[in-house]
Amino acid sequence: MPALLAALIAPSLVSTASPFAEPVLLPKPARVEWRGGTFAYLPDARVQLPADAARLRETAFPNFVRSGKGTGPGVTLTRDARFTDPEAYRIEIAKDGVTIRAGGDAGFYYASVTFRQLLPVSVDRGTTVPLPLGVIEDQPRFRYRGMHLDVARHYMPKAFILRFLDLMAAHKFNHFHWHLTDDQGWRLQIRRYPKLTQVGAWRKETMRGHYRNQQWDGTRHGGFYSQGDVREIVRYAAARHVTVVPEIEMPGHAQAAIAAYPELGNLNTSLPVATSWGVIENVFNAEPSTIQFLQHVLDEVTELFPSPYIHVGGDECPKKQWKESAKAQARIQALGLKDEDELQSWFIRQMGEHLRTRGRRLIGWDEIREGGLAPGAIVMSWRGMTGGIEAAKQGHDVIMSPTDFTYFDYYQSPDTVREPLAIGGYLPIEKVYAFDPVPPELSAAEATRVLGGQGQVWTEYIPDGDRVEYMAFPRACALAEVLWSPSADRSWDEFSRRLPFHLDRLAARGVKFRRLDAGRVR
């Protein structure tokens, strides 16, 4: 904002806690113009909704407008067909009230998130708030703004999932990538195959401390989400304009499923649910019965999750057992394939085609490119951006989730002694903020293939929700701005001046984020 405009704003607006002559908005809107002067807003003011948008009263304005029965000037929401981006909105604060325009509910929702940031952290319904007169015009840079959470390595209770969704929505994230299955646990109830959760959701014990110490805690760990839980979570997310993208891992990271149904594996022996981390050799076999089993699983998944995208993993599938298995080699021959990479590609293609008949698109980690990419598949590029760049150049949609910029299980400080044990790596928030999901290698046309980006929270070393919050925040605040705000006027210095005031909001909600001064020598 130009200094002149800042100077025009009434001094009464300047919160005692903020050095800014303007509200602290995060992620930063595309365009903000403050006009000077204020409107005395009473948080109990009437909110006038379009007739067909009554639902917004519960979802978009729940924190500060319950009754909305106040009198006098308030907030008026108006549908406006000129908005082509369903997430775009415009807020005008004038002397006689606030007008919010959007094309539909998503835009109104994001307007409400921004509007909430115009108010103090704690709102007293009976006390007026001087709102700056002006206009905010906003829309996201990317349409896929994701946060991932691994609930296989450590089960997270439903209440925490709902809280995580709230925190995502407060940062305008719109896709929750829910990593539901892995070697160490299968967390989704499947009616047709009850042992997936009866057996696969529980492990005898868990690795304790660092992998290299090879110690275990001797404590049974597990849990799963019933289909009723899932429906509740999906509904809760949808009300906050978050799409839940489930991930069912295949053909690797499959040991918990094989523990439940040994016939899905390659060894003809029973296996326990894994108790160690790492890349494990016990992968699904590629027999027709296993393909059908997994397609049946996906049928229940598509019933539960309305997401247009279904994630099938595809990463880190060691080929050792397929190389040593006479059956796998016979499959390769029978299908006329060259090698095990092509068998994996064929495997994923069976899922892609199955999902397509149900009107859904497959997402896979970038290994799904090896041996040939399934038509229409979306590549989630985690081993750097190269896989994503090449896929985009070949005309595939991609989501950028590179370890170097978006793995929130990495350390936040080089001082790993003071930090809680983490998987390794070092990803400071400054680096997250420097992430650009559109690398310079892509032409403008190719760049349209980048749907967006995503932050990853793998939980081998993250035992509970408090630690998830510590690892995800405030790095997710930086990622939110990367994915929402225009890249042109992005400045770390400016962001890092806004961030502490935004963190006050998170503190008021009890979020266990990593303090900016953590680890500093005092």
Active site residues: 182, 253, 316
Which 60-79 positions form the footprint of ligand ACM (CB under 6 A)?
Answer: none
- Of 437, 414, 444, 412, the C-alpha closest to 427 is 412
Instruction: Count the Cβ atoms, other than its own, within 10 Å of residue 416.
Output: 15
- Please report how close the Cβ of residue 360 comes to ligand ACM at its closest, in angstroms: 20
Of 80 and 315, nearer to ligand ACM (C-beta) is 315
* Binding-site member from 315, 342, 419, 464 for ligand ACM (CB under 6 A): 315
- Report, in Å, the least distance between residue 362 CB and ligand ACM: 15
Q: Strands, DSSP E only, in 50-159?
A: 75-79, 89-94, 97-102, 129-138, 144-150
Rule CB under 6 A: say whether 309 interacts with ligand ACM: no
Judged by CB under 6 A, the residue of 316, 341, 342, 353 near ligand ACM is 316
Best CA proximity match to 169, nearest among 212, 105, 123 = 105
Interface with ligand ACM, residue 287, by CB under 6 A:
no
Nearer to ligand ACM, 316 or 353 (CB): 316
Q: Is the Cβ of residue 281 or residue 353 nearer to ligand ACM in the bound state?
A: 281
Site for ligand ACM in 373-432 (CB under 6 A): 382
The site for ligand ACM, by CB under 6 A, has a size of: 4
Q: Residue 111 in contact with residue 137, Cβ under 8 Å? A: no
| Residue 400 beta carbon to ligand ACM: minimum distance, rounded to whole angstroms | 13
Establish if 353 lies at the interface with ligand ACM (CB under 6 A): no
What kind and span of H or E run contains 227?
Answer: helix 227-239
> Is the Cβ of residue 13 or residue 373 nearer to ligand ACM in the bound state?
373
Residue by residue, DSSP assigns 324-378 as H-HHHHHHHHHTT-SSHHHHHHHHHHHHHHHHHHTT-EEEEEGGGGTT-PPTTPE
Query: Which residues does 12 contact at the CB level (< 8 Å), separation at least 6?
Result: 38, 130
Query: Is the bond preceding 375 in cis, omega lying within 30 degrees of 0?
Result: no
Q: Give least dist CB 348 to ligand ACM, A.
A: 14
Q: Three-state SS for 262?
A: helix
Show the binding pattern over residues 502-521: x = contacts ligand ACM (CB under 6 A), - = does not: --------------------
Does 284 sit near ligand ACM (CB under 6 A)? Answer: no
**What's the closest the beta carbon of residue 255 comes to ligand ACM, in angstroms?**
15
Our CB check for ligand ACM shows the closer of 110 and 407 to be 407
Reading the block at residue 300, the tokens are 């229940």
Least distance to ligand ACM, CB of residue 316, Å: 5
Binding residue (CB under 6 A) for ligand ACM from 365, 405, 484, 501: 365
Q: Which is nearer to ligand ACM, 382 or 513 (CB)?
A: 382
User: Binding of ligand ACM at residue 108 (CB under 6 A)?
Assistant: no
Classify 28 as helix, strand or coil. Answer: coil
Residues near 258 by beta carbon (within 8 Å), at least 6 away in sequence: 264, 265, 271, 282, 284
Q: Is the dihedral of CA 439, 445, 449, 453 positive or negative?
A: positive
Residues that bind ligand ACM (CB under 6 A): 315-316, 365, 382
